[in-house]
Structure 1
Amino acid sequence: MSFWFTVIRQVGRNLRMTWGSQIMTLLTVSLSVLIFAFFYLIYTNMLHFGDKLGNDLSLIVYLEEEPVPEMQQQLISKIKAFDDVEEIRFISRAQAYQRFASQLGKNQDVLNDIPKDFLPPSIEVVPMKNLRSLNQVKLFSAYLARLPGTTKVQYGQDWVERFYYFTKLLSIIVLLSGTLLILTTIFMVAYTIRLTILGRQAELELLKLVGATNNYIRTPFLLEGLFQGILGSSLGIASLFVLFQWIKLHFSGPGFLNLFEFSFFSPMVGLTIIGVSILLCTLGSYSTMQKFLRI
């Protein structure tokens, strides 16, 4: 018990001796965690939105004429020849008109002077979930465009492509911010511990001469890196949570952001980020001790 009491007192002394660099290290670790967690939070929410988008994805094949039952069976066979699909729905001109009228709601009267067969017949193809990558959807769309009687294939190409490219860009940003977190955390903690060691080198050598064990001398520096990891990462995650709640409070309601259902990290993800940050800070402290602590 007296060992840990003495060690913690030494940690407090080290923090007071280098309080300026300690604060800078704390802020750097917090900012690095905040940047990484911010982009990772956006990335995970975009993935969730992408899954939801994929569940609603369908390819609409517009036809020149309504296919007769025999032709429908041939088209179904040709579509399934590419790969299995979840559902194939044939939409007649009348059904397309009814859908359009229901979407107009109270404004249906604008269709009074328009023929009920002005909309083309179509086929709605819902692909399997394992066939919903961007490249596969493109290949499937090109295949459907070659079906007999097809005039056009739509699946919201421009929007879907932009979404997938944006998600890919986010993954690169998350990777870069994670690298930034690793480098800055290890470097800043190592630099701060180095200053502490150099400032107390003579005292540490004296402690060794009077019989202090290696564990007694090394443990305060390891705990110093550990505390930096705990405080810095917790502050970064807490800051992100406050920012997240502020955005939800001020941007809730009708609008573009309300189209997305954003959610914060699960407790397990938050604890994992904090745990990795603690490990990196401790690693930075340990690497500096191995290099500069000569006992």
Structure 2
Amino acid sequence: MRRLVYLLREAVANVLTNRTTTVVAVATTAFTFACVGVFLLLYVNLKTLASSLEQDIQVMVYLQDDLTEQTRSEIDLQLKADRAVGSVTFVSKEQALADFQNQFPAESHLLQGLGQNPLPASFVVTLAVESRSSDAMRRWAHRTQSIPGVAQVQYNQEWVEALAGIVRYIEVAAIIVGLILSAASVTIIANTIRLALYSRREEIEILGLIGASATFIRVPYLLEGAALGFLGSTLSLAILKAGFELFRHEIRSASRFLGVDALLTFFPFQMCVVLVCVGLFLGCAGSFLSLLRFGEGRA
């Protein structure tokens, strides 16, 4: 227990002794983590938006005009039996005409001169949650198109695929930027620990001469690196949270974006813990790297 207290006290002493370099390291680490966090926040919110929009996307299955009631019932049963289908609603030709007239009253006169109702009957299909990705919807639409009596299957394919593509690009960008800035954080922390090692190299040599093990000497510096990573990642989350709330307040104040702020979400608690743990790990990695180089320099 006394040894653990000593190691912790040494780590705190290292941080306080090198206040300037510590502040610079924490601030720079926080900035790099915040940059990664911006991409992660963008990815999380776009992913949430995509999931929300996918729930609202409905597939229109238009029927041929000359279908008998029996054929229509068979198509209805076939759609409801499909595991990829969440719900099915039948819209008759008369209901389709009434809906058109309600939604577009200024254009309803265009259909009056045609004599008969030109709008087809259709099924409004909502797919199951696991079948709402762009690839799954494309496969389902292609399969349903081949059902006898189905004239056309339509859904907002371009919008779904474009949104999925944007999410994939953001995901790749977050990974690339995260790797680059994580390497930068490790380098910054490693340089900070290296300065502490060189400033106390005589003390380290004395500890080695009186029989202190390499692990005993290194642990305070590993703890110092972990503390720098912890402080940097925690500070970055505070910066991101403040910026996120400010952005949401501005969105809420703009009348043209009314209701959009309710869709925006910050990192869940579990993800915040993961980000702090990543900061701890990167801090330890930076310390370990500097200790290896310091040992090689002494050898």
Please classify the TM superposition score into its range, dividing by the shorter chain length: 0.7 to 0.9
Please say if residues 82 and 140 of structure 1, whose CA atoms lie closer than 8 Å, have aligned partners that are also in contact.
no
| Whole-Å separation in 2 of the counterparts to 1:257 and 1:275 | 36
Please say if residues 57 and 126 of structure 1, whose CA atoms lie closer than 8 Å, have aligned partners that are also in contact.
yes
Please say if residues 39 and 174 of structure 1, whose CA atoms lie closer than 8 Å, have aligned partners that are also in contact.
yes
| Whole-Å separation in 1 of the counterparts to 2:74 and 2:16 | 81
- Cα deviation code 1:82-114 (max 9, x no counterpart): 75522332211211123234445xxx4663674
Letter in 1 for 2:178: G
Residue 109 to residue 158, structure 1, CA distance change in 2 (3 Å): closer
1:47 deviates by 2.4
Q: Which of 269, 274, 278 is matched with 1:267 structurally? A: 269
1:183-262 alignment, distance < 5 Å: 183-210=183-210, 214=214, 217-252=217-252, 253-256=254-257, 258-259=259-260, 261-262=263-264
When normalised by structure 2's length, the TM-score is 0.82
Residue 6 to residue 90, structure 1, CA distance change in 2 (3 Å): closer
1:41 deviates by 2.0
1:123 deviates by 2.0
Deviates more, 1:192-201 or 1:60-69: 60-69
Letter in 1 for 2:108: L
Does residue 41 of the first structure (1) align with residue 41 of the second (2)? yes
Report the equivalent of 1:283: 285
Residue 120 to residue 222, structure 1, CA distance change in 2 (3 Å): same
Report the equivalent of 1:169: 169
| Whole-Å separation in 1 of the counterparts to 2:54 and 2:251 | 26
Residue aligned with 1:61, SS: strand
- Cα deviation code 1:124-157 (max 9, x no counterpart): 2222333222112112222333444544422111
Letter in 1 for 2:90: F
Please say if residues 28 and 184 of structure 1, whose CA atoms lie closer than 8 Å, have aligned partners that are also in contact.
no
1:80 deviates by 6.6
Please say if residues 84 and 130 of structure 2, whose CA atoms lie closer than 8 Å, have aligned partners that are also in contact.
no
Residue aligned with 2:90, SS: strand
| Whole-Å separation in 2 of the counterparts to 1:270 and 1:59 | 37
Please say if residues 43 and 167 of structure 2, whose CA atoms lie closer than 8 Å, have aligned partners that are also in contact.
yes
How much is the aligned-residue C-alpha RMSD, in angstroms?
Answer: 3.1
Letter in 2 for 1:281: G
Report the equivalent of 1:140: 140
For this pair of structures, how many residues does the alignment match?
A: 292
1:191 deviates by 2.0
Report the equivalent of 1:31: 31
- Cα deviation code 1:21-56 (max 9, x no counterpart): 433322332122212222222222222233323322
Report the equivalent of 1:126: 126
Please say if residues 66 and 121 of structure 1, whose CA atoms lie closer than 8 Å, have aligned partners that are also in contact.
no
1:270 deviates by 0.8
1:105-120 alignment, distance < 5 Å: 108=105, 111=108, 114-115=111-112, 117-120=117-120
1:69 deviates by 1.4
1:237 deviates by 0.4
| Whole-Å separation in 1 of the counterparts to 2:76 and 2:120 | 19
| Whole-Å separation in 2 of the counterparts to 1:5 and 1:70 | 83
When normalised by structure 1's length, the TM-score is 0.83
Unmatched 5+ stretches in structure 1: none
Residue 268 to residue 183, structure 1, CA distance change in 2 (3 Å): same
Percent identical:
26
Residue 4 to residue 84, structure 1, CA distance change in 2 (3 Å): closer
Letter in 2 for 1:286: F
Does residue 99 of the first structure (1) align with residue 96 of the second (2)? no
